[in-house]
């Protein structure tokens, strides 16, 4: 099973890119972020025409997440537990082929310090709590999405230039690594320990052409899923297309269970 994650920066604007990616057999499950559309406007029929199952959790103009899969989606839940007043559409879970997957669009947090950064850290604390519950289930779990965290300096083309940003602040990095310390494996780093890998390039200043990128899209795997990793990587192709998202898919391949 190949599971990919992609911040598409508008499901409507990138609909053809997404459908082409699925049609090309690039993955079996796609975790989608930043759909920027209300549920009533999500193009569900386009996915169904390809024979794919899809679930979505959106809001008008901002945020929004979805899960698309070749196989049926079971036990779909929307929203990150822990704050009944949080109405931002940033989290969704489902079980696909015996694997529990979550699509995550973590808050950016800038400017930091400030209320938006406080919200980011609070959100990450809630994520850790939910992730702990998922670990306890002993199911294979994949947490995938745009985490808006640059874990290490190797994951950034210009570490001094990003110093103090919410994506690199020690609090953000510590919250990310708390998930790893709890038992989750960073799939890309497990397969490429020292390789420079980016998943996001800004639209401005020729960042894509200069390869001025950062790695903020991640796939974190529970031990039961990590034991089945056969490969992981970044698919840079979609970022080079006309009118692309500023993110590109990251993926992990899991062997069939023994």
CA proximity to 147, closest of 258, 31, 17, 13: 31
Give the mean pLDDT of the chain. Answer: 97
Q: Encode the chain in three state secondary structure.
A: CEEEEEECCCCCCCHHHHHHHHHCCCCCEEEEECCCCCHHHCCHHHHHHCCCEEEEECCCCCCCEEEEECCCCEEEEECCCCCCCCCCCCEEEEEECCEEEEEEECCCCCCCCCHHHHHHHHHHHHHHHHHHHHHHCCCCEEEEEECCCCCCHHHECCHHHHCCCCCCCHHHHHHHHHHHHHCCEEHHHHHCCCCCCCCEECCCCCHHHHCCEECCEEEEECHHHHCCEEEEEECCHHHHCCCCCCECCEEEEECCCC
User: Domains in the chain: how many in total?
Assistant: 1
Q: What average pLDDT does this structure show over 103-127? A: 98
How many CB atoms lie under 10 A from the CB of residue 14?
25
Q: In whole angstroms, give the CA distance from residue 41 to residue 181.
A: 39
**Residue located via tokens 């990919």:** 4
The stretch 50-68 carries a mean pLDDT of 97
Smallest CA-to-CA distance from 9 within 247, 189, 222 is with: 247
pTM over 0.95: yes
Tokens of 43: 């193009």
Domain with residue 36: its CATH number is: 3.60.10.10
Q: What is the pLDDT of residues 165-207, one digit of tens each?
A: 999 999 999 999 999 999 999 999 999 999 999 999 999 999 9
Domain that holds residue 103: 2-254
User: pLDDT value at position 50?
Assistant: 97
pLDDT, residue 220, reads 98
Buried-state track 140-179, b at ≥16 Cβ within 10 A, e below 16: bbbbbbbbbbbbeeebbbeeeebeebbbbbebbeebbebb
Whether the CB-CB separation of 18 and 249 falls below 8 Å is answered with no
Q: What is the pLDDT of residue 15?
A: 97
pLDDT score at 258: 79
């Amino acid at each position: 099973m190949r599971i990919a994650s992609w911040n598409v920066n508008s499901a409507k604007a990138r609909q053809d890119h997404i459908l082409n990616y699925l049609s090309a057999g690039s993955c079996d499950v796609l975790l989608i972020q930043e759909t920027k559309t209300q549920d009533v406007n999500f193009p569900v029929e386009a996915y169904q025409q390809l024979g794919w199952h899809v679930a979505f959790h959106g809001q008008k103009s901002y945020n929004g997440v979805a899960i698309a899969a070749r196989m049926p989606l079971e036990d779909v839940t929307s929203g990150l537990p822990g704050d009944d007043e949080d109405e931002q559409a940033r989290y969704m879970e489902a079980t696909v082929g015996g694997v529990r997957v979550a699509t995550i669009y973590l808050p950016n947090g800038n400017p930091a310090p400030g209320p938006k950064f406080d919200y980011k850290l609070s959100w990450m604390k809630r994520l850790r709590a939910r992730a702990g519950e998922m670990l306890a289930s002993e199911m294979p779990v994949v947490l995938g999405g745009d985490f808006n965290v640059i874990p290490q300096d190797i994951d950034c083309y210009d570490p001094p230039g990003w110093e103090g940003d919410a994506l690199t602040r020690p609090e953000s990095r510590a919250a990310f690594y708390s998930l790893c310390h709890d038992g989750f494996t960073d799939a890309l780093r497990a397969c490429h320990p020292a390789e420079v890998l980016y998943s996001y390039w800004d639209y401005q200043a020729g960042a894509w052409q200069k390869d001025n990128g950062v790695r903020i899209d991640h796939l974190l795997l529970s031990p039961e899923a990590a034991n089945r990793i056969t490969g992981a990587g970044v698919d840079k192709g979609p970022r080079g297309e006309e009118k692309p998202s500023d993110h590109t898919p990251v993926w992990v391949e899991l062997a069939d269970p023994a």
